[in-house]
Amino acid sequence: MTYREAIRDALREALKSDARVFLMGEDIGMYGGSFAVTKGLLAEFGEERIRDTPLSESAFTGAGIGAALAGMRPVVEIMTGNFSLLALDQIVNNAATLCHMSGGQLPVPLVIRLGTGASRQLAAQHSHSFEGWYAHIPGIRVLAPATIDDARAMPGLALKCSDPVLIFEHIGLYNMEGELTSSWPQADIEHAAVRREGSDVSLITYGASLFKCLEAADALAKAGVNAEVIDLRTLRPLDNETIFASVRKTHRAVIVDEGWRSGGISAEIAARIGESCLYDLDAPVVRVCTREIPVPYPRHLEEAALPQVAEIVASVQDMMGKAA
Amino acid sequence: MSIEYCMPSLGADMEAATLVEWKIKPGDIVKRGDVVAVVETDKGAIDIEIYESGCVERLLVAPDTRVLVGAPLALIAGEPAAATTSAVPTAPALEPESKPEPAPTVAPAMHGHVKISPAARTRAHALNIDIDKVHGSGPGGVVTLQDIESAATKPKPSASDSMKAVIAAAMARSKREIPHYYLSTDVDYSATMTWLTRRNAELPIEQRMLPIVPLLRAIVLALKTTPDFNGYFKDNTYKPSDAIHLGVAIAQRGGGLIVPALLDAQDQTLAQLTGNLRDLVNRVRAGRLNNRELSEGTITLTSLGDGGVDSLSPVIYPPQVAIIGAGTVRERAWASEGKIDARPVLTLSLAADHRVSNGRSGAQFLARIRDYLQAPEKL
């Protein structure tokens, strides 16, 4: 099963089990979705529930908010995080606020799925990681499934939530193959996951960077460094306890984020570690982030701009004072 | 008008000491020479004296604080004319222009220069580890948690270990810097022993004189006419000392060796030397010496009389310029006036600094000591 199929299965299950659920977005019906996530669903569920929309993110996101307010359970697909900026007003000013402004009378149980991240040579206007921005906004939840299990579980969990939920699906993961494990039904959207236990350093990450961190941890293990890998899974609200427990154990933290460093989610995590774990730290918190440039198109430059395994390994070795 | 009273140096190799106890409190009137505190050094607990007179304004350091030599311990308000005599005209001169910074209320940050991670600092505090002594293995020499854990598993150097280190440093420096020369002479000790036996028979046990005491007195008298062996060689200059602070090497319990001085031995009679030597030995055993005794010796006598050796070639304790070695007083064949008989004989040796004196003056010095010991009743 691929990550893409895991999401499709989750959507299919939701469509089958709850008549209020419907999908909306650009080219999700006839074309099957720009990343082919919704392929086949139009034939299976019909135009009423798999709705192609005009090229107006603001309009169809707003329509989703309206439908949610009216009691439906809409799942809106926005092709990339970059395009979601056209719907920023709807998400930040409406979806995130209405429940709070109405004293709880008008919850907005809207799910928005967004492609995010680089690695597919889609250039700067399709490759940026804005999930850290959204994690700044109270009133919404921000999820970042990295594994097949989470891709299978999170859409359903998001639909059960009365808050607006944004699911950031890394476009580099859609083709990832893997087995669904038996534990996927136990997944939640409250907790980060320790994907690898370690004692010397905590690699804190999410999304596609998880696999770079796991690879880096393998390389570090050969050099005698035992790295723990934390998959945040949920960027808002952040699971402080899991992060802090890991840092208190390893005394070192490296945050790996495909977003930019300045003002990013990596900065927020580093600040929280500084606030709560200062006296447990044996080294300054290190961040490995995307270079502060619009993501380039050429493959070699795109690769150079993004966090890579070698850089993660080198950062850990630097902070531990061990030569590569 | 405050004067900073700073941690004194109690020896050339001392870097810091831990304040154990204050003997003064704010408001007390102190005068030069008063014992004001007890500090723990590598050499043991030592009473430290104050060099200024005045009123204690503020104590800057709490007990159990480690303080660098030269770091302020207390503020003393100088009292120019009122309480003290005019014998301290130097006090105002010590006061520089106004001090803009308020005096620190805690000890100067001993650890300010140590790069250490927060986790390591926290752990070091919990384990009571002195981070100044931990080698940093992290990037840029930062002290890491692992460094603290390693330091914690290492046995802490004991007091005697650190004293050994101090002695090692002083002895290495001595042999590195001081061009020693060595002389020795055999002294017929029969006159002294006879006189001593007779004299001691008249005295209660606690006043009886050890055989070393006449030697101490003989050294003092000899130094009065051969001043090239009593003083300090510092900054390429020899400064002879009028006072004779005669250092005596005394073995400590646990194996250490310490060399406190009989201060102002030039003015002491045999009876006073006897009492003061006994007092010094007792205080060595109790670990309560004062700083002047440890730092101001001007010459040293080391005796291996109880070790059974006949002679020794001792090492000068810098910045002193001479050390006298005494072997065992033992019956030996002694040729004199054409015949040989058995007499108690002491071999005296002199190691002296050739930058200050030479073999000729050294020989004179030893000969004078020997001659004084031939007429003990005149000592």
3-state secondary structure chain A: CEHHHHHHHHHHHHHHHCCCEEEEECCCCCCCCCCCCCCCHHHHHCCCCEEECCCCHHHHHHHHHHHHHCCCEEEEEEEEHHHHHHHHHHHHHHHCCHHHHCCCCCCCCCEEEEEECCCCCCCCCCCCCCHHHHCCCCCCEEECCCCHHHHHHHHHHHHCCCCCEEEEEECCCCCCECCCCCCHHHCCCCCCEEEECCCCEEEEECCCHHHHHHHHHHHHHHCCCCEEEEECCEEECCCHHHHHHHHHHHCCEEEEEEEECCCCHHHHHHHHHHHHHHHHCCCCCEEEEECCCCCCCCHHHHHHHCCCHHHHHHHHHHHHCCCC
The predicted structure's pLDDT at residue B108? 37
| First CA to last CA distance, chain A | 37
Verify whether the Cβ–Cβ distance A321 to B139 is below 8 Å.
Answer: yes
Contacts of A224 in chain B (CB under 8 A): none
The two structure tokens encoding residue A283 = 């080294």
d(CA A34, CA A124): 17
Verify whether the Cβ–Cβ distance B117 to A283 is below 8 Å.
Answer: yes
Nearest by Cα to A202 from A262, A146, A270: A270
d(CA A272, CA A207): 20
Nearest by Cα to B367 from B221, B268, B169: B221
The predicted structure's pLDDT at residue B79? 57
Neighbours of A86 (CB within 10 A): 15
The two structure tokens encoding residue B114 = 């140590």
CB neighbours of B331 closer than 8 A, spacing ≥ 6?
A: B342, B343, B344, B345
- Whether the Cβ atoms of residue B300 and residue B317 lie closer than 8 Å to each other: yes
Interface test with A, best of B144, B147, B148 (most A CBs within 10 A): B144
Q: Mind telling me how many Å the CA of A166 is from chain B's nearest CA? A: 37
Contacts of B138 in chain A (CB under 8 A): 282-283, 320-321
Tell me the CB-side half-sphere exposure of residue B93, using CA atoms within 13 A. 3
* Residue for token pair 């270079």: A291
Which residues in chain B show pLDDT less than 50? Answer: 80-111
From chain A residues 239-268, the ones with a CB under 8 A of any chain B CB are 251
Q: Annotated catalytic residue: which of A5, A26, A57, A131?
A: A57
Nearest by Cα to B376 from B185, B227, B188: B188
- Is residue A256 scored above 90 in pLDDT? yes
Mean per-residue pLDDT over chain A, rounded: 96
- Is residue A323 scored above 70 in pLDDT? no
The predicted structure's pLDDT at residue B98? 42
Torsion of CA A38, A41, A43, A45, to 10 degrees: -140
A65-111 confidence digits (pLDDT tens): 999 999 999 999 999 999 999 999 999 999 999 999 999 999 999 99
- Percent of chain B exceeding pLDDT 70 equals 87
The model carries a pTM of: 0.58
- Is residue A161 scored above 90 in pLDDT? yes
Contacts of B144 in chain A (CB under 8 A): 282-283, 321
In the residue annotation, A57 being an active-site residue is answered as yes
- Whether the Cβ atoms of residue A268 and residue A236 lie closer than 8 Å to each other: no
Nearest by Cα to B230 from B379, B313, B350: B350
d(CA A112, CA A168): 9
What DSSP character marks residue B50?
A: -
CB neighbours of B29 closer than 8 A, spacing ≥ 6?
A: B54, B55, B56, B83
The predicted structure's pLDDT at residue B157? 61
Nearest by Cα to A289 from A231, A195, A205, A181: A205
The predicted structure's pLDDT at residue B71? 85
d(CA A77, CA A8): 12
From chain B residues 100-159, the ones with a CB under 8 A of any chain A CB are 117-122, 137-139, 142, 144-146
In the residue annotation, A126 being an active-site residue is answered as yes
Neighbours of B155 (CB within 10 A): 6
Verify whether the Cβ–Cβ distance B139 to A251 is below 8 Å.
Answer: no
The predicted structure's pLDDT at residue A270? 98
The one-letter amino acid code at B262 reads L
Least CB–CB distance from A319: residue in B139, B145, B146: B139
| ipTM higher than the 0.90 cut | no
Verify whether the Cβ–Cβ distance B117 to A318 is below 8 Å.
Answer: no
B324-373 confidence digits (pLDDT tens): 999 998 899 999 889 999 999 999 999 999 999 999 999 999 999 999 99
A2-40 confidence digits (pLDDT tens): 999 999 999 999 999 999 999 999 999 999 999 999 999
* Residue for token pair 């392929």: A39
A269: pLDDT confidence band, cut at 50, 70 and 90? Answer: very high
Ramachandran bin of A165, using left for φ above 0, alpha for ψ from -120 to 50, beta for the remaining angles: beta
The two structure tokens encoding residue B54 = 């005045």
Contacts of B134 in chain A (CB under 8 A): none
A132: pLDDT confidence band, cut at 50, 70 and 90? Answer: very high
- Whether the Cβ atoms of residue B379 and residue B217 lie closer than 8 Å to each other: yes
The predicted structure's pLDDT at residue B159? 61
From chain B residues 244-263, the ones with a CB under 8 A of any chain A CB are none
B58-89 confidence digits (pLDDT tens): 888 888 888 888 888 888 887 544 444 444 33
Q: Mind telling me how many Å the CA of A230 is from chain B's nearest CA? A: 21
